[in-house]
Amino acid sequence: MRAILLRRLAVIPLILFLVSVLVFCLAEVVPGDIGSTMLGPYATEEQVESLKEELGYDRPLVVRYLDFAGGFVTGDWGDSYALDVPIRPLVTERAWNSILLGFYAFLLMAPIAIFGGVVAALREGRKTDRAITVGGLSLSATPEFVTGVILLIIFAVRLDWFPVTSSVSDASSAVDRLRAMTLPAVSLALVSFGYVSRTARAGTITSLQSNYVRTAVIKGVPRRRLLFRHVLRNSMLPTITVLGTQLGYLLGGLVVAETLFNYPGLGKLLLDAANNHDVPLLEVTTLVSAVLYMSCILVTDLVYGVIDPRIRHGSALA
């Protein structure tokens, strides 16, 4: 396990470096002149040059990147251009909100999706299998904003069970926060259900058709023991990979869901930064999302090794 952890920790900085270069180039090079973008088309040339000098955009591109990367590593993330507040506490708070929402959606989705996939595999070719498979495919193909709008109309507007907006204050109770997060969490869980259930179904079918399961059936191993001790442990290996990527997606900034439900998370902050041409906030938010995603992949690899130590990670880390 120590070797697995060290190998992954050696790869993550390289990936984050590439992400940081890409984000920096897209945020600072592609939009063009930052001064004209922020001040608008009616600003004078003197005003544009003065703003660029004030923000440090008169320096070489490499120097600006090194300043950005070094500041991110040391925790000096600078200030937001649009909000005029320090970026670090703002992004930290929004990231925590996204983590809460992501874990809530994950806890709603994972058990139901795994259970549905296993049931579909045990009823392969029957009506139950077809219903779960078609339902999962339909949910996966439906965009988040569609399921979100439907949930809002039914449960927030018509039934008034949940608030229309998911924005909460620091003084809100735990129950109010949970109610505010429920609709966006359910919309995210519905989209992720199909991917996980299909993977769990395929893994379970493969395990059921394996030689060791057939041997156990011939020996008269009870069905419950066979399912929990032999089938599920091996069938869950590919499912864990999908769960890890889905969790990384849920934690890495959910732009559509957070914007639709007005939830103060990392995804909404990312969109606001892009709309306001807030380059430092956009860069930091994107890189923090990448860190969260890579952390989920790391945890997935470690869980993989715990469940089946025979798995070799060398090829996965190449």
Residues 6+ apart with CB under 8 A from 225: none
CA–CA gap between residue 34 and residue 63 (Å, rounded): 16
Reported in sequence order, the residue ranges of the chain that DSSP labels E, i.e. its strands, are: none
| Amino acid found at 179 | R
Q: Identify the pLDDT of residue 308.
A: 64
Q: What pLDDT is attached to residue 318?
A: 38
Per-residue pLDDT of the chain (318 residues; tens, 9 = 90+): 667 677 777 888 888 899 888 888 887 765 555 665 666 666 677 776 777 777 777 788 888 888 888 889 888 888 888 788 899 999 998 998 889 898 999 999 999 999 998 899 888 888 998 999 899 888 888 888 888 899 999 998 898 888 888 876 665 677 888 888 899 999 888 888 888 988 888 888 888 887 777 777 777 777 777 777 777 777 777 888 888 888 888 876 688 888 888 888 898 898 888 888 788 888 899 899 888 888 888 888 777 767 666 655 444 433
Instruction: Find out whether 77 and 284 touch, Cβ atoms under 8 Å.
Output: yes
Give the end-to-end CA distance of the chain in Å, rounded to a whole number: 17
Q: Residue 248: helix, strand or coil by DSSP?
A: helix
- The one-letter amino acid at 166: S
CATH topology of domain 87-317: MetI-like fold (1.10.3720)
| Measured distance CA(261)–CA(243) in Å, rounded | 24
Phi, psi dihedrals of residue 143, rounded to the nearest 5°:
-60, 155
State the Cα–Cα distance between residues 195 and 15, nearest whole angstrom: 25
User: Across the strands, what pairs with 86?
Assistant: 79
Contact (CB, 8 A) for 85 and 279: no
| Residue 316: Cβ-neighbour burial (10 angstroms; 0-12, 13-18, 19+) | middle
Residue with tokens 């709008």: 149
Name residue 79's beta-bridge partners.
86
Q: What's the pTM?
A: 0.82
The pLDDT value recorded for residue 88 is 92
β partners of residue 208? none
Count of other CB atoms within 10 angstroms of residue 44? 9
Burial class (CB in 10 A: 0-12, 13-18, 19+), 196: buried
Bridge partners (DSSP) of residue 246 are none
Chain-centre distance of CA 217, in angstroms? 40
pLDDT score recorded for residue 1: 62
CA angle 314, 317, 318 (to 5 degrees): 85
* CA 61 and chain centroid, separation: 30
Structure tokens at 194: 């199909």
CA contacts within 13 A on the Cβ side of 289? 24
